[in-house]
Copies of this chain bind each other. A is one copy, B any other.
Amino acid sequence: LDSGRLGPVRRLVNTLTPAEIGSLLEALPPTKRLMLWGLVDSEDDGEVLVHCNEEVRESLLQDMDDEEIVAAAESLDLDDLADLFEDLPDTVTENVLKSLDRTDRERLEQALSYPEDSAGRLLNPDIITVRPDVTIDVVLRYLRLRGEMPDHTDHFYVVSRRNQYLGRVAVTRVLTSQLDTPINELIDDSQAPIVVTAEAETVAKSFADHDWISAPVVDANNVLLGRITIDDMVDIIRAQADHNVMSMAGLDEEEDLFAPVRRATRKRALWLGINLLTAFLASFVIGRFEIALEQVVALAILMPVVASMGGIAGTQTLTLIVRGMALGQVSASNAMALLSKEMMVGGFNGVIWAIVVGASAGLWFGDLRLALVIAAAIAINLLAAAASGVMIPLLLRRLDIDPALAGGVVLTTVTDCIGFLAFLGLGTAFLL
């Protein structure tokens, strides 16, 4: 790309899948990103947009004129179009709607009527339905007449006259059964259909737990609306994991590697500001012990050790609990058992590191009382860290605050303050 010879690059790019192109675009700085975007086959434009994160998608859309956007939108499956639709400029959405035939327009409008992150947004209405009273032979003749089937079709859905979901028949069962077998002998109704209002994350968990490839989606009246396939679930599982990693640093999962500097600065500044408040709180605690700090400089030198050990130990517990919550494994019913286990681990590590840190500090400053003071402070802070690591995320969740996002700040505020308080407080009591 650097050399400006675009022909070979174009050929190379268009051998990639839309997901790969999307990932590549995300990895490029803005100018090169737009250069490469210009080289993508226009028939792939829509699919590539679907596979970019929101920030990159926005920057690419700004580079397209309305006609190109409409053309890109037209090429998409309805579930992908629903995903993309709300990011399109208002001037374009109307044209996109006009370009669809009536059925598709109604389907799209229906998809958009479901809340974001619900099963309704993910469902694909392209399915093959059969009646319970026909035979395999009829189904096979119908399929050969039809000539093609939606991608990833692994089941036919059996519906009543009023399109209510009765069950499904595996494609493999159809292939291995005798031609005169009626469909209703092959129906599998063991898997309850997904209700259209279910949350996407819950649906993804069901897919993972049951090893589903696809699942039927029904409305409140059990009318079959379509199906959800596992490839969309993989995207959700990835996004969910990304969310946990990114939000621990106060970033969001749609963060663009090459976001414009101004936007990135603004988004990061918020998090730095929140953390500054907590840092000043810790400084305020330290400020209460001015006299001790003036008289025993070793307290100033060693105080970061106490705070940092508490922060690390607390973060370990916090991470374990937040992960457990994401997996649905931590709840009020096992919170007490977790608290007592973590307190024990914190207690043992408190003793171990109190001895190590106490001995090191004692040798460094040649002061037995200082050694005892820091040892006690470490032990106290590690216990407090274990308790906070369990209780803070549970508390945050009860307050409807994302523990992955806020847990770290709250926790380090607690461990910093308790660490400084314990160390400088004990220092004031015993060293002055």
State whether the Cβ of A8 lies closer than 8 Å to any Cβ in chain B.
no
- Residues of B contacting A278 with CB < 8 Å? 308
Across the interface, do B309 and A307 meet the contact criterion of CB distance under 8 Å?
no
Q: Which of A24, A235, A238, A360 has the most CB of B within 10 A?
A: A238
Report A80 CB to chain B, min CB distance, Å: 11
Chain A interface bracket (under 10, 10 to 19, 20 to 34, 35 or more): 35 or more
Across the interface, do A17 and B234 meet the contact criterion of CB distance under 8 Å?
no
Across the interface, do B258 and A210 meet the contact criterion of CB distance under 8 Å?
no
Across the interface, do A210 and B28 meet the contact criterion of CB distance under 8 Å?
no
Across the interface, do A268 and B349 meet the contact criterion of CB distance under 8 Å?
yes
With A234-B237, A257-B329, A337-B258 already in contact, the answer to whether A148 and B176 are too (CB < 8 A) is yes
Q: Which of A251, A282, A308 has the most CB of B within 10 A?
A: A308
State whether the Cβ of A341 lies closer than 8 Å to any Cβ in chain B.
yes
Copies of this subunit: 2
Name the interface residues of A305-327: CB closer than 8 Å to any CB of B: 305, 307-309, 312-313, 315-316, 318-320, 322-324, 327
- Residues of B contacting A334 with CB < 8 Å? 27-29
A153 partner, pick from B153, B172, B271, B283, beta carbons under 8 A:
B172
Across the interface, do B26 and A329 meet the contact criterion of CB distance under 8 Å?
yes
State whether the Cβ of A352 lies closer than 8 Å to any Cβ in chain B.
yes
Report A241 CB to chain B, min CB distance, Å: 3
State whether the Cβ of A429 lies closer than 8 Å to any Cβ in chain B.
no
With A269-B349, A280-B305, A345-B265 already in contact, the answer to whether A234 and B257 are too (CB < 8 A) is no
- Residues of B contacting A146 with CB < 8 Å? 176
Across the interface, do B20 and A313 meet the contact criterion of CB distance under 8 Å?
no
A39–B280 CA distance with the chains assembled, in angstroms: 54
Name the interface residues of A4-41: CB closer than 8 Å to any CB of B: 17, 19-20, 23-24, 26-29
State whether the Cβ of A356 lies closer than 8 Å to any Cβ in chain B.
yes
Report A117 CB to chain B, min CB distance, Å: 18
State whether the Cβ of A338 lies closer than 8 Å to any Cβ in chain B.
yes
Across the interface, do A312 and B152 meet the contact criterion of CB distance under 8 Å?
no
A176 partner, pick from B144, B176, B272, B273, beta carbons under 8 A:
B144
Across the interface, do B348 and A265 meet the contact criterion of CB distance under 8 Å?
yes
Q: Mark A329-370, 1 if CB is under 8 A from B, else 0.
A: 111001001100100110011001100110010000000000
Across the interface, do B272 and A287 meet the contact criterion of CB distance under 8 Å?
no
Across the interface, do A416 and B154 meet the contact criterion of CB distance under 8 Å?
no
Stretch from A60-68, A87-95, A158-166, A294-302 forming part of the interface with B: A294-302
Name the interface residues of A176-209: CB closer than 8 Å to any CB of B: 176-179, 207-209
A323 partner, pick from B153, B245, B273, B356, beta carbons under 8 A:
B245
- Residues of B contacting A24 with CB < 8 Å? 329
Report A3 CB to chain B, min CB distance, Å: 13
State whether the Cβ of A230 lies closer than 8 Å to any Cβ in chain B.
yes
The 3 nearest A-B residue pairs measured at CB: A241-B241, A27-B329, A300-B300
10 other contacts beyond A149-B176, A283-B301, A293-B301, with CB at 8 A cut-off?
A: A24-B329, A27-B324, A29-B337, A152-B154, A261-B345, A264-B345, A276-B305, A290-B301, A300-B303, A303-B304
